[in-house]
Structures are given as C-alpha cells and as structure tokens.
Amino acid sequence: MAQNFTNLTSDCQYWLQKLSALDQASTLETQKDTCLHLPQFQEFLRQMYEALKEMDSNTAMERFPTIGQLLAKTCSNPFVLAYDESQKFLIQCLCCLINKEPQNSGDSKLNSWIRGLLSHILSAFRFNIKEFDLFTQGLGYEPVDYCPALLKNMVLSLVSKLRESHLNGFNTRRRMAPERVASLSQVCIPLVTLPDFEPLVEALLIYHGHEPQEVLCPAFFKAVNEAFLLKKISLPTSAVVSLWLRHLPSLEKAVLHLFTKLISSERNCLRRIECFIKDSLLPQAACHPAIFRVVDEMFRFALMETDGALEVLAAVQVFTRCFVEALEKENKQLKFALKTYFPHISPSLTAVLLQHPRDTPQGCHHQLLQHVSLMLRKAVEDQACGSCRDPFESWFLFIHFGGWADLAAEHLLRSAVEAPAAAEAPVAALLWLLAFYYRPLDSHQQRAQTMVEMEAVLSRLRFLTLSRSSPISAEELRAAAGEDSHEDPMQPVCGRLIRHLLLNFLLWVPAGHAAAHDTITLMACTDEISHEITGFLDQTLYRWDHLCTEAPRPAKLARELLQELRARV
Amino acid sequence: MDALLQQLERFSEVLSVSRTNHVSTWGPETVRRALQWARYLRQVYRRFGSHGRIRAALERRLRIHWGPEGPKSGLTSFRALGRGDVLLSLNLLQNRALGDAAGRALLQQLFPGAGTGDADAEALQTRLVRLARRRAALLLLRETDCFRGGSPGLLEDPVLLTQAQLLLGRLQEAGETETGDPSGWLGRLWTRAPRVHFLQVMAVALLQPLEELGPSGPKSLGEEIHVLVRWLLEQSEVLAAFCRLPAGLLTSIAERHPALSRAYLVLLTDWGQKLHYDLQEGAWVSADSQDVPWEELLRRFQSLSQAPPPLKDEVLTLLESCKARDGNFEVAGLSVWTDLLLDLPSSASKLCLGGDKFEVPA
C-alpha cells in the first residue's frame, strides 16, 4: 500500500509538470500531445481517487503536497474535462480533499476554494459574447438550460459545413480548409464517446477532402475505433467501413479484437461465433476487396500459426458465409470481380466454390460435388496452368467453403452404404476431395494411398450393414474403422478423416444409431478428440440448418450426442 | 392538487433565494431538505409530463410569477421542474455566501462517491458530470477555427439559432396560458438586451420552419412565430430598426411573412420619399444623416427584385406606381423611383403587369 503511494507521489509530480508544459501554448502540437496522454491521465486520476478516499484531508495534503495545484490545473484543461470519465474522477478527487472537520480558517478557506473549483467545472460557462449572455439572462435562462441545445446546434452546423465542403468541389469559398478539418478532428478525440457528437464523428469519417493525403489525424481514427470496439459509440456501417478503409491499423485492431472474442468465448458453438462475427461488421465491410484481403490475410496467418486448428477453420468458414451473405445483400452497382477478392485463384474455380448447394436439388448434389472436385484437382495437379503456385492457395480457398468437404463425406458414406451397386468413378472424385481437404500437402502417391485406405474403411462399414441379425456393436464399428492399428505415424490427420466418416455412418445409417453413444464414448478417449467430435456435431447441425436439410432422425440423434458430450466437459 | 401547487410556489421561492446572500442562514439540514424537494418535484415532472390538464395548471401557476416583466429567476416553466435539482445544486455551489457546513452537506449529497446504492443521487451525479463534459465540449468547439474569424452567415450561426429557439420556446410557454400577452416581457427584453443582437435573433426566429421535430414528437411553431410578427408590427420603433437588418435577410423574411412584407414596403417607400437629388454631388441624398442612404435603398430593392414571383411582382408594381405618381419620368435625377428602376438589373425589372396597380398610401 505504501509503495503504491510513492508511485502516486512521483506520478503527481510528473503530471503537474506535464500539464504546466501543455498549458504554455495551445498549438496543434500541444493538443496532439495532450490527446495522446488522456487515457493514462484518466487512469492516474482513478488511482488517485482510490487512494484519496481512504484518507482524510490533512493526511492527503501531507502525502501529496502538490495535489491541490495539480487538480486546479486540470480544472482549466478542457481536453481532460471532455474525455470519457476524467471529469468524474476529478470531481471525486476534489470532494475527497474537503476537510470534514475544519479546525481553523485555513481549513475553511481550502473548502471554499475547492467548492469554487467544482463550481467552475460545472457552471462557469459564459460564452464570452456579451450579447449572448445578456439575451439569455433576459429570457430567464441558465447555462444548464441551453447547453445541450447549443451543443446540438453547433454540432449540426459543423456537420452541414462538412457536407457542403464535400459537395462543393470547385467552389473554394465554401470549402473548409484542410487545417480546419484537421483541428476539428483533433478536438473531437476526447469527445467521441459523447452521444451528442455522434453526427459529427460520422460526418468526419465520411468526409473526403480534395487533397490527395489524409486530412484527419490518425489519433482520431484510433479513438473512434476503440470506442466502436468497446461499443461506446454507435455508428452506421458506412462510417465504420470508411474508418477502416482510411486507417489500416484500426482494421487490424478490429480483426484482432474479434479473434480475442472468438478464442475466449465458448468453443464449438457456431451459432454464437456467427453472432460475434456479424456483430463486428467485418463481413459487411469485407465487401470492399481491400478490407477483405486484409482480413483474409490475418485469417491465413492465424491458420498457419496454429497449424490449421479446427477453431480457426470453423471461424474462417463462418466468416465466409457471412461475407457471401453480405455480398449478396449489397445492391451496389459496383460489383467487384471475383479476382479482386481472390487474386491467386482462377475465377472459374472461385465461382464454382461460391455456388450454394441450396440452389441445386438434392439429387444433383453428386454431380455438383464431382464438378468441384474435378476443378480443384485440375488447379492443384496441373502445374503448367500457372494460375496458382502451390496447392496451399487452392486449399486455403477451399477451406473457406468447408461445407463442400462435409457434403462430400456425407455423400460418400450414404452412397457407399445405401447404394453399393453404384459406379466406382464418381466415388473416386469425392475420395480425392476429402483426402485433399484433410491432407493438402500430400504428394500424388500419398494421396492415392489415403484414398485406398478410405475405400477400405468404407467397404468394411458396408459389410457391417449387410444382412445382420444382431445390432452392430461399438467395438465392431471401431474395428471396421481401423482405429486399432496404431502403427502408422501419419495417423493423426488420417484419424480425423476416418472419424469423420465413422460419425457420418452413425448419423445416417439406421443400424448405427443404436451403437452411437457407445461408439462415441470409445472414440472420445482424449480431450482433443472429444472437442473435435463436438465441433463436428455442432458444425453438422449448423450446416443442416442453413441448407434446410430434412433429416429428422439424424438431427435428433446428433443433438442428443452433442448434449451428452457437452455435459461431460 | 392545491398542495402540489403550493409546494411548487414554495420551491420556486427557494430556488430564487438560493442565489442570494440569504443562504448564509442555511444549515446542512436545510440543504438536504431543499434537494429532496427538488428530487420530488422532478418525479412530479416525469409523472405528469404527458398529462395535459395537470401540466397546464402547473404552468399557469408558475406563469403568475413571471409578472408583467417576463420570466425571472426561480421556476419559470413546467420544463424547469425536470431540472430543478440541477438548478438548485448549481446555484448553491456558486453561492459564496453558503456556509462551510452547509457546503459540505451539499457536496455529500451531490457526489456521494460510488456504490452508495442511492439510485436518485447517482442519477443526479451522472447528470452533473455530463454537464461538466458538455461544457468542456463547448469550450473545445469554440476554440476551433470553425467558429472564430470569418463570421458565418446569420442564418448559419448556431449561437443565434439557439437563442432564436430559446425565444420561441418562451413564447410557446407564454402562449399556453390564457391570452398569453408577451408584449410586456418582449418589450422589456428589447430595452435590456443589445438591440442589434435582439433583432438578429428575431430574424432567425422568424425564419424557422413552421413544423419542427422535437424530442416529444412534431411541434408546431406557427403560433409563436405569429405572435412575434404581431408584436413586431405593433412596435413601430422596433420595426423601423428591424428593417435595417441586411437586405438579403429581410427579403427572405418578406417572402415568408406577407404582413411583414407589406410593412417593409411601406417603410421603404417612406425612406425613398425623404431623398432628394443633389445636383452638385450628382446623387440622391437626404437632409438627415440618420435617414437611410440611397445605396442602401438600392441594395434593398435589388434584393427584393430577385425574390420569387409574388413578392417580386409586388415590389416592381410598387416601384412602377410610385414612378407614375411622380410623373413617369424616364430620365435619371428627377424621381428617385425612376432611378431605382433604372438601376435594377435588367432581367429583374421585367414585369408582367396585371390589371390593378398597387395603391400607394399618399
């Protein structure tokens, strides 16, 4: 506790000097400096209040001899008073200094001085235009009566000045000089969280001057972005998009903020993830290719850093869904070509992947999947086409639209079990798709090997369903999936694939329903696998919802299994 | 109801007293009670704000205290009830005569610190803190270049606009009572406030849109504006000074208010008739230096002749008939009206002459 005070005492000295220096001149530089220090100073005031409220006036004056001077200086600094909650902490500090049992005239003088300061902060606003003061007094009004109205009118006047300046390209007389706009944005920095200022903040964000370089100061963008991320200001989407287009660090901060929220929120609930993502306004903003590329880049980075973590994959997929939705909603004339969003991929491939399976009847899904597989395979294996350098790019694009892989797995399994007599060739395409999804960096041979293994699992599973008298047991299923063999060092990712197939089996094949709970219990031997299965179930339900897939029994089973798994955690 | 009205009056007195030296006799208990009272009346305000009859009764009672000279200190309107606690707090805070003990009690009530659980007190603290923040915002805006140097047009000046809105607000409150005769306190305002400023505020007020979207739904300003117009027409001294405001402004007002435009034109005619042609200077001058000079007259007519049709035609008809009365000269220097017409921009002096001429009072 004592150590805390020594810090505060030295801080006190520091801030006193700082404020004195800032007082000397009120140029743009000192204003910038003041704005930079506002958050720290508020934190200092808050800590000061916490300390002061524990002691009485005399002790306070002894411990912090310069506190009175410092607080007095603060009272005449409008930037500090305008910022966030600084005025509240200042007032509270002053109240703490009041001597509750004045012994002598010195004490009373102190009290009276403090009251004067408080009065100054709260009410000493004379507009310093004598006519104004006389007139309002003549009408019987006090500053508290007209302050809000005056503020509103001044803000609106500035907003319309900005708008006029924006529209009058060649009429230089009506244009606001860039220095004025800059100083206006400077002055707004402490005030972005004041609701009265929202129209002005919006107008500044949308304002485009006639100079090639940015007119507004970066600290302004930063302040608005912070306020927006903490939900202390509400802005229309167009203003936020403008902010991010003009100030890249703000966009990056917004994406990081989203990542933090996604990490710390409940995992494996895609519905909630979708809410967070839509809330962040990033999908809507990403309709601008420039913003999309930055966000996509950050997702790519996260994916690589986490070695393809399932959560990141899921986030990318949900984000892409929301983005495509937003893109469709935008009725803007300028529709950017696909190449601007995905420059490294051939537009035909992108177009194919962007199709929504919902738009085609279920019977035709198989052909669609084949088409996707073919195009993707062509892009990956055809080195001569030169449109993509390495399979990673194709894979990265593919995982944006993860629904295809899930759909492929479903189809594979159902056709293998329900219609075994179907031709082999179509199945090969789906096998390739899945193998590529889970192991993009495999060589041609390795992938072929994986496909063979998958086929083996499928035929074993098929065998299990043929002419059975007794229900299938969990152990049998596990054996069929080949989970017992632990020799293969490549097991981990292949395991995911196999589990994916097995889970589909459990959901879609009636004979598998009975053993579902037990099988899951057996499979979920580690926390990681348990999470993976939960994720799969959640994702499947989410996907069925959006595709309007009619599958009442599987859905019911999936929900039960999900509940059980979640309860276990 | 009676009890409520009495409390209202007593609190109004308390509010007035809180600015005088009398507070030196107040102790901590008095301060606490006064604030409690204010809090109670604020609740009254929130409960009866939408109750037409009760609200009107309260307004009437408060209006009595205006006296013939207009709103003074104390509670001036029903709306002020909602702010009574802030008004009282600020009055006391600023009052140096308030004793030490009472002052400490005041601060304790206003800023109890966090987590005392008293929702009302915290709400008051929040409002006071927000007032401080808004005040700082105004100071900052005032410092920006946008408002200093280079006077904005009168109609774009937010300070004037605010005052115009305040004026109309008061007129509306006055109008809510019986016959609400504002001429008394408007007259007083005219004598107290700086004249040109007052006229500018009135001009801005007269140009406000008739229907305004207020916080509690659309409200019509038509009544108040008509009251202003009527008062202006009754006060010849004020009217004469009013019509000396910038030409463009007056043209806009004349477009909006036909009654005022007629009075304006009459005045212009009078002013014109006072001018005579000085052969030595070769210009129109007047005997009295206080009179409106030729240049200004010309400017005003030029501005009027560029207004849209009904007004423009009236003006040109007037000029033509004055010119005819003077003898219908076409040469300059003989009739002020001829010269005015000659100096108007040619496109403006095109006039579709109707049947009747405008009758000029002799």
DSSP A138-206: HTT--HHHHHHHHHHHHHHHHHHHHHHHHH-SS-GGGSPPHHHHHHHHHHHGGGTTSGGGHHHHHHHHH
Is the per-residue pLDDT at A127 higher than 80? Answer: no
Whole-angstrom distance, CA of residue A204 vs CA of residue B132: 24
- Take residue A414 and report the two structure tokens written for it: 């159902």
The pLDDT, as a whole number, for residue A173 is: 64
Which of these, A419, A438, A566, lies nearest to A500 by C-alpha position? Answer: A438
Of A30-39, B133-142, B338-347, the range with the lowest mean pLDDT is: B338-347
Give the CA count within 13 Å in the CB-facing half-sphere of A191: 30
The pLDDT, as a whole number, for residue A494 is: 72
For residue B167, what are the CA distances in angstroms to A147, A166, B157, B185, B245?
15, 33, 15, 11, 19
Subunit contact A88:B137, Cβ cutoff 8 A: no
DSSP E strand stretches across A467-511:
none
Smallest Cβ–Cβ distance between B197 and the set A98, A135, A142 belongs to: A135
The pLDDT, as a whole number, for residue A358 is: 73
Break chain A into its structural domains and give their ranges: 2-123, 144-246, 344-568
The pLDDT, as a whole number, for residue A89 is: 94
Number of Cβ pairs < 8 A linking chain A and chain B: 186
Of A363-372, A465-474, B83-92, B181-190, the range with the lowest mean pLDDT is: A465-474
Is the per-residue pLDDT at A184 higher than 80? Answer: yes
Whole-angstrom distance, CA of residue A147 vs CA of residue B90: 14
Of A139-148, B67-76, B92-101, B217-226, the range with the lowest mean pLDDT is: B67-76
The pLDDT, as a whole number, for residue B146 is: 60
The pLDDT, as a whole number, for residue B31 is: 92
Whole-angstrom distance, CA of residue A411 vs CA of residue A399: 18
Of A22-26, A44-48, A82-86, B333-337, the range with the lowest mean pLDDT is: A22-26
Instruction: Give the DSSP H/E element, type plus range, for residue B285.
Output: strand B283-286
Chain position carrying tokens 């990490």: A263
Subunit contact B103:A112, Cβ cutoff 8 A: yes
% helix, strand, coil for chain A, step of 5: 75, 0, 25
pLDDT tens for A227-244 read 999 999 999 999 999 999
Question: What is the average per-residue pLDDT within B111-131?
Answer: 82
Whole-angstrom distance, CA of residue A224 vs CA of residue A202: 10
For A290-316, b/e burial (b = at least 16 CB within 10 A) is: ebbebbbebbeebbeeeeeebbbbbbb
Smallest Cβ–Cβ distance between A102 and the set B100, B189, B193 belongs to: B100
B positions 55-114 inside 8 Å of A (CB): 70-73, 76, 80, 83, 86-87, 90, 93-94, 96, 98, 100, 103-104, 107, 111, 113
In chain B, whose CA is at the least distance from the CA of A104?
B100
Residues of A in contact with B145 (CB under 8 A): 177, 179-180, 183
Residues of B in contact with A119 (CB under 8 A): 90, 93-94
Confidence of residue A276 (pLDDT cuts 50, 70, 90): very high
More confident residue, B97 or A264: B97
In chain B, whose CA is at the least distance from the CA of A120?
B94
Is the per-residue pLDDT at A424 higher than 70? Answer: no
Confidence of residue A169 (pLDDT cuts 50, 70, 90): low
Residues of B in contact with A78 (CB under 8 A): 136, 139-140, 143
Sign of CA pseudo-dihedral B338, B340, B343, B346: negative
pLDDT tens for A430-442 read 888 888 888 887 8
Whole-angstrom distance, CA of residue A516 vs CA of residue A564: 12
pLDDT tens for A77-103 read 989 999 989 999 999 999 999 988 888
The pLDDT, as a whole number, for residue B67 is: 60
**Average pLDDT score, chain A:** 84
Subunit contact B188:A121, Cβ cutoff 8 A: no
Confidence of residue A366 (pLDDT cuts 50, 70, 90): confident
More confident residue, A30 or B62: A30
Subunit contact B129:A87, Cβ cutoff 8 A: yes
Which of these, A397, A418, A78, A192, lies nearest to B132 by C-alpha position? Answer: A78
Whole-angstrom distance, CA of residue A189 vs CA of residue B141: 12
**Average pLDDT score, chain B:** 81
Confidence of residue A527 (pLDDT cuts 50, 70, 90): confident
Instruction: Give the DSSP H/E element, type plus range, for residue B283.
Output: strand B283-286
Residues of B in contact with A101 (CB under 8 A): none
Is the per-residue pLDDT at B342 higher than 90? Answer: no
Subunit contact A132:B163, Cβ cutoff 8 A: yes
Give the ipTM.
Answer: 0.85
CB atoms closer than 10 angstroms to residue A420? 13
Question: What is the average per-residue pLDDT within B300-320?
Answer: 89
Whole-angstrom distance, CA of residue B1 vs CA of residue A184: 51
Subunit contact B134:A190, Cβ cutoff 8 A: no
In chain A, whose CA is at the least distance from the CA of B167?
A139
Residues of B in contact with A177 (CB under 8 A): 145
Question: What is the average per-residue pLDDT within B282-292?
Answer: 83
Backbone φ and ψ for B279, nearest 5 degrees, come out as -65, -35
Smallest Cβ–Cβ distance between A78 and the set B70, B136, B197 belongs to: B136
pLDDT tens for B248-264 read 899 999 998 989 999 99
Q: What is the DSSP string of A224-246?
A: HHHHHHTTSS---HHHHHHHHHH
Residues of B in contact with A196 (CB under 8 A): 134, 137
Residues of B in contact with A127 (CB under 8 A): 138, 142, 159
Smallest Cβ–Cβ distance between B162 and the set A111, A123, A150 belongs to: A150
The pLDDT, as a whole number, for residue A2 is: 55
Tell which of B15, B85, B96, B144 to mutate to test the A interface (max A CBs under 10 Å).
B144
CB atoms closer than 10 angstroms to residue B116? 11
Is the per-residue pLDDT at A204 higher than 50? Answer: yes
- Take residue B155 and report the two structure tokens written for it: 């109609």
Q: What is the DSSP string of A256-300?
A: HHHHHHHHHS-SS-HHHHHHHHHHTTHHHHTTSHHHHHHHHHHHH
Confidence of residue A569 (pLDDT cuts 50, 70, 90): low
SS3 category, A16: helix
Residues of B in contact with A118 (CB under 8 A): 93, 107
